[in-house]
Amino acid sequence: MPKRLGLFGVFVALTGIAFLKAQQGTSRAENFQRMSERAEKQGLAEPFKGITTNGTVEPGLFPIRSTGVSTAPVRQAAVRFLDSLTKAQRIKSTFTVDDDEWRKWMNQHFYIRQGVSFLEMTDRQRDAAFNLLAASLSAKGLKLSRDIMHLNETLAELNNNDHEQYGEWLYHMTLMGEPSATEPWGWQIDGHHLIINYFVLGDQVVMTPAFYGSEPVIATSGKYKGTAILQAEQADGLKMLLALDEGQRKKAVLNFSKTGDNNLTEAFKDNVVLDYAGVKGSDLNAAQKQRLLGLIDLYISNGDAGHARVKMDEVRQHIDETWFAWIGGNETGSVYYYRIHSPVVLIEFDHQLPVGVRHLVANPKVPFHDHVHVVVRTPNGNDYGKDLLRQHYALHPHQAGTG
């Protein structure tokens, strides 16, 4: 297997390639196109399997069943959004439910995305898009999404108002399949520091992979001054570590030194083999388990209340098989990475190296609090609802490949 560079290493390498090409007279848009195509070619070289601990998917974790939580509001909002689009916009933003378009997302700003962008939407279309997000997410999840978009505007301001690379509206919407009460379908939002994949089958929902982050995470100036994200996730992660006793902490801390980016399951990492590490849930006492569940809920509760409750019930069933791992320091000002990993959920939180504000920091070679990446995944083959889709096709083979 090739050596993993890490996302910042990939970014630097690709940026270097872009610079060389720019020197040869190619435009920024052409460079971004080449970089995007390369990322997709490498990232989609293998068919989807899902994140596993040993290369083998653990079966039977995600049965097709009734949750009792209606998805009708999401479906109705999706139909209204589609109805708001022009014919040309609808054509370029709709795909079959089993299309690889699900897997074509990337955090980096240079990535060329499919679908219809908020930048090109009318006010009415934007309202319809945000209504789809509001129907699918909790108020907290919607606010987080909007705040990430706002902070991307702040990043543009911090780069001499570079709205070609950054900005509030550089986010794209796509829909996979036709909104239906019985057939599989879903939607995706894709842009810098905000990606949500939202799969629906009947009254079941899978809201992963999801990516949240920003640089900066707190706006101290500009149009959206005062906006801040992921502060509870940052603080409560550290509280979780400090709630462990000395023996448990020795197991949880994989490395006290954090010198780079540590997330392992970002864009085009759908098939990562990642073994459990850290301290295991079965080694925690009741209060520590509750604290860990509360930390997980910070992420899961970005989805609507009903489906978040369904997912948390699933998480609780596997709490003894849930591992908590840590890299970095344990002081309030420390930079760190933590990972929560069970058969049914994988969460990564990471303080990252400066990228978009390298020119504004004292030491751009060390991670800092003002650039955070978060990834939420469903291991064992159910990212994008793929395992549910597989089971659906097994029950209805004539529908496979028809969208």
Q: pLDDT tens-digit profile of 163-184?
A: 999 999 999 999 999 999 999 9
Q: Hey, is 396 helix, strand or coil?
A: coil
Contacts of 44 (CB under 8 A, 6+ apart): 100, 103, 104, 268
174 touches 85 (CB < 8 A): no
For 385, the token pair is: 């609802």
Q: Express each pLDDT in 343-402 by its tens digit.
A: 999 999 999 999 999 999 999 999 999 999 999 999 999 999 999 999 999 999 866 655
How many angstroms separate the CA atoms of 403 and 397, rounded?
12
pLDDT averaged over every residue in the chain: 93
Residue 400: the pLDDT is: 64
- Separation of alpha carbons 20 and 31, rounded Å: 10
Per 3-state DSSP, what percentage of the chain is helix, strand, and coil (rounded to 5)? 40, 15, 45
| Residue 114 predicted with pLDDT over 80 | yes
Q: How far apart are CA 291 and CA 376, in angstroms?
A: 18
C-alpha to C-alpha distance for 76 and 96, rounded to whole angstroms = 19
Question: Would you say residue 198 has pLDDT above 70?
Answer: yes
Asked if 287 and 295 touch (Cβ cutoff 8 Å), the reply is no
pLDDT tens readout for residues 276-313: 999 999 999 999 999 999 999 999 999 999 999 999 99
pLDDT at 96 over 70: yes
**Chain segment 143-163, per-residue pLDDT in tens:** 999 999 999 999 999 999 999
Q: What is the mean pLDDT of residues 98-117?
A: 96
The amino acid at residue 298 is L
Check whether 134 has a pLDDT greater than 80: yes
Average pLDDT of span 243-254: 98
Read off the pLDDT of each residue in 235-240 and give the average, rounded to a whole number: 98
**Is 204 in contact with 123 (CB distance < 8 Å)?**
no
Position 205 scores a pLDDT of: 98
